[in-house]
Amino acid sequence: MITEVRVKGILNPVRQPDDWFGLKYNMNLYRGCQHHCIYCDSRSACYQLDNFDREVVVKVNAVEVLADHLPRKRVVGTIGTGSMNDPYMPVEKRYNLTGRALQVIANNHFPVHVLTKSDLVLRDIDTLEEISRVFATVSFTITAGDDDLGRKVEPGAPAVSRRFAAMRKLAERGISTGVLLMPVLPFIEDTRENITRIVELAADNGAGYILPAFGMTLRDRQRYYYYRQLDRQFPGTKEKYIRQFGANYFAQARQAGELHAYLTDLCEDAGISLEVPKFIPQEAVEEELQIRMF
């Protein structure tokens, strides 16, 4: 189900410093998500998205609000997309909110960090190349090294191979791009074989960085949904979680420290960083601020 709403604001400040993603502002053009990843933390009750898997809320006036508010910002900092949904889920093909918002960002000379699981981002490659004159990076969430496993854990998202192909095209255009290796699901993705394959593919397709998180959150409704999917896709695995993690908030990958060290060695050999490149926020020049406002 798709519901259209109108909003008064679209940019939310991010607590500083953001050492993970380098964001100053966060922008969610939609609410809910169509990728149906079995592990998604956004199903948790604390986010109050009661119909997360059944309804996508489209903020139909978001681009106009952004065009009005962005020129007034006194701090130029990176705008992030994709914290509570994917900016390039299928509904974007119809509404093009992300594509139009990126053009507003380009017009106002702001940096951007796109977080996605979709090769639909290539539709906006020209705009991203324009933004990259200031700063732009595109991070693809990739937690599985092959399409078969990817389809099981992210059933509504484009195949892993399509994401890597999109990464290559971005890199060929000189746009910074890399991998968000998160979450790494215990008993499913926390193997050397899976990590090795992801690093190899990242290196082959122009990734400049891999940002890992070896484990996942397990909150209330998120846990309930995830365990149901484990019973469907990975029989017997739910019982391992119950024994290992009980009611813990965080489920750490097996041998997380050893896996991180192993990843570090692989990335060093491949010339891949373990940090996302970041744009340092800066005060808008008064003259530029006036020009943008008028």
Distance CA 24, CA 46 (A): 23
Distance CA 144, CA 194 (A): 6
So what's the pLDDT on residue 41?
80
pLDDT digits (tens, 9 = 90+) for 68-109: 999 999 999 999 997 778 999 999 999 999 999 999 999 999
Res 35 pLDDT > 60: yes
pLDDT tier at 253, thresholds 50, 70, 90:
very high
Distance CA 5, CA 11 (A): 16
**Is the CB of residue 36 less than 8 Å from the CB of residue 155?**
yes
Res 254 pLDDT > 70: yes
**Residues recorded for the chain:** 294
Res 291 pLDDT > 90: no
So what's the pLDDT on residue 55?
80
Res 285 pLDDT > 90: no
So what's the pLDDT on residue 42?
74
**Is the CB of residue 136 less than 8 Å from the CB of residue 175?**
yes
Domain that holds residue 29: 2-293
Distance CA 15, CA 97 (A): 25
DSSP notation for 88-123: TSTTHHHH-HHHHHHHHHHHTT--EEEEES-GGGGG
Q: What's the chain's average pLDDT?
A: 93
Cis ω before 71 (30° cut-off from 0): no
- Which tops the pLDDT comparison, 1 or 117? 117
CATH code assigned at 172: 3.20.20.70
**Looking at the 3D structure of the chain, how many domains does it have?**
1
Mean per-residue pLDDT, 179-197: 97
Mean per-residue pLDDT, 228-247: 95
In 3D, which of 174, 166, 167 has the Cα closest to residue 131?
174
pLDDT tier at 49, thresholds 50, 70, 90:
low
pLDDT digits (tens, 9 = 90+) for 119-152: 999 999 999 999 999 999 999 999 999 999 999 9
Mean per-residue pLDDT, 148-177: 97
What is the DSSP-derived secondary structure letter of residue 273? B
**Is the CB of residue 94 less than 8 Å from the CB of residue 58?**
no
Contacts of 111 by beta carbon, 8 Å cutoff, 6+ apart: 76, 77, 78, 79, 131, 134, 135, 136, 279
